[in-house]
Amino acid sequence: MSEFETILVDRKGRVGIITLNRPKALNALNSQLMHEVVAAVEELDTDAEIGAILLTGSEKAFAAGADIKEMAPKTFSEVYGEDFFSEWDRLSAARTPIVAAVSGYALGGGCELAMLCDFIIASDTAKFGQPEIKLGVIPGIGGSQRLTRAVGKAKAMEMVLTGRNMDAEEAERAGLVSRIVPVAELFDAALETATTIASMSLPVAIMAKEAVNRAFETTLAEGVKFERRVFHSTFATADQKEGMAAFIEKRAPEFKNA
Ligand SMILES: CC(C)=CC(=O)SCCNC(=O)CCNC(=O)[C@H](O)C(C)(C)COP(=O)(O)OP(=O)(O)OC[C@H]1O[C@@H](n2cnc3c(N)ncnc32)[C@H](O)[C@@H]1OP(=O)(O)O
């Protein structure tokens, strides 16, 4: 695994763990951190030994947003010219399931990074928000789109226009997070979830992820048709044979990721 300065990368079994590590800046997402997270995800994504990725921050902050100090002096020609923040889009191309474990602040780019993951497990101290408007800008890493799809127009519009934060309970009620756990249990709970995902057949997990994501990109009829075709494809895997044989023989499956 490559050497990184703003993140820590570790492995537990088949789970790749990326921990944002700029504690003094509450994990503010500067360019170096962005390059490193994207590189680490891409590296883990192409590693056949990895079946799930866990992305987390510190207890106080998952990430307090894009780095305001780095961004402040930039000009229009610079941000437009370099298509500033477009590098984050590469996370959407990852096929391996990515779980975000969020404690404390997930604001602006931090909330957007969590939403770039496949789902979010939150601690009871988590706070989500898109406060960019208070800085005279708007979300730029997909927040206006992903937050709206996650929580609906009314809540997303209020948050984006006022910069109000949501606590973990509101985020769970609104559908932004899959569940809340006590802060002391967050890492273990998220790792257990990621380990469960990594214990499944990787090609089938990738197909399942692709099918759920298709719901955001297409009509219901097209989405159901896509799901049906991918479901049919699972019968081309050895793991479908193994999974069903294991059930019938009353034993645990031994998936070969094939
Ligand atoms: C523009 C786009 C597309 C996306 C964005 O993400 S814009 C940024 C959105 N985020 C924010 O506006 C949140 C900014 N941060 C805060 O409001 C506060 O830091 C806090 C409420 C999250 C926490 O407040 P607290 O008093 O507990 O801590 P601070 O003393 O304010 O912060 C500690 C340390 O971290 C630096 N910091 C925090 N957030 C950022 C950031 N987004 N960018 C750069 N630096 C950040 C903060 O300046 C302080 O460092 P110094 O003591 O060295 O100033």
Asked if pLDDT for residue 181 goes beyond 70, the answer is yes
- CB 112 less than 6 A from any atom of ligand 1: no
* Test site for ligand 1: of 29, 31, 68, most ligand atoms within 8 A of the Cβ: 68
d(CA 236, CA 231): 10
- C-alpha to C-alpha distance for 208 and 226, rounded to whole angstroms: 11
Ramachandran angles phi, psi of 18, nearest 5°: -115, 120
Mean pLDDT computed over 213-242 = 97
pTM: 0.98
Q: How confident is the model at residue 3 (pLDDT cuts 50, 70, 90)?
A: confident
| pLDDT tens digits for range 52-108 | 999 999 999 999 999 999 999 999 999 999 999 999 999 999 999 999 999 999 999
Integer Cα distance of 199 and 12 in angstroms: 12
| Three-class SS of 98-133 | EEEEECCEEECHHHHHHHHCCEEEEECCCEEECHHH
Cα separation, 178 vs 212, in Å, equals 14
Instruction: Kindly give the number of the ligand 1 atom that is closest to the alpha carbon of 61.
Output: 22
pLDDT tops 90 at residue 161:
yes
Bridging pattern class, strands 61-63 and 105-107:
parallel
Does residue 65 have its Cβ closer than 6 Å to ligand 1? Answer: yes
Reported confidence tier of residue 1, pLDDT bands at 50, 70, 90: low
pLDDT bin (cut points 50, 70, 90) of residue 2 is confident
Mean pLDDT over 19-24 rounds to: 98
Residues written for the chain: 258
Q: What is the pLDDT of residues 32-45, one digit of tens each?
A: 999 999 999 999 99
Residue 258 corresponds to which amino acid?
A: A
Q: Is 108 in the pocket of ligand 1 (CB under 6 A)?
A: yes
Nearest residue by C-alpha to atom 14 in ligand 1:
64
The Å distance, Cα 107 to ligand 1 centre, comes to 9
Mean per-residue pLDDT for 148-162?
Answer: 98
**What positions carry a catalytic annotation?**
66, 109, 112, 132
The HSE-up count of residue 217 (CA atoms within 13 Å, CB side) is: 9
Phi, psi of 107 (to 5 degrees): -115, 145
Ligand 1 mean position, distance from CA 64 (Å):
5
Q: Which atom of ligand 1 is nearest to the CA of 139?
A: 3
Q: What ipTM does this complex have? A: 0.99
Q: How far is the C-alpha of 26 from the C-alpha of 107, rounded, in Å?
A: 10
- pLDDT category at 194 given cuts 50, 70, 90 is very high
Q: Please give the distance, rounded to the nearest whole angstrom, from the Cα atom of residue 218 to the centre of ligand 1.
A: 37
Query: What residues does 29 pair with on adjacent strands?
Result: 66
**pLDDT at 174 exceeding the cut of 90:** yes
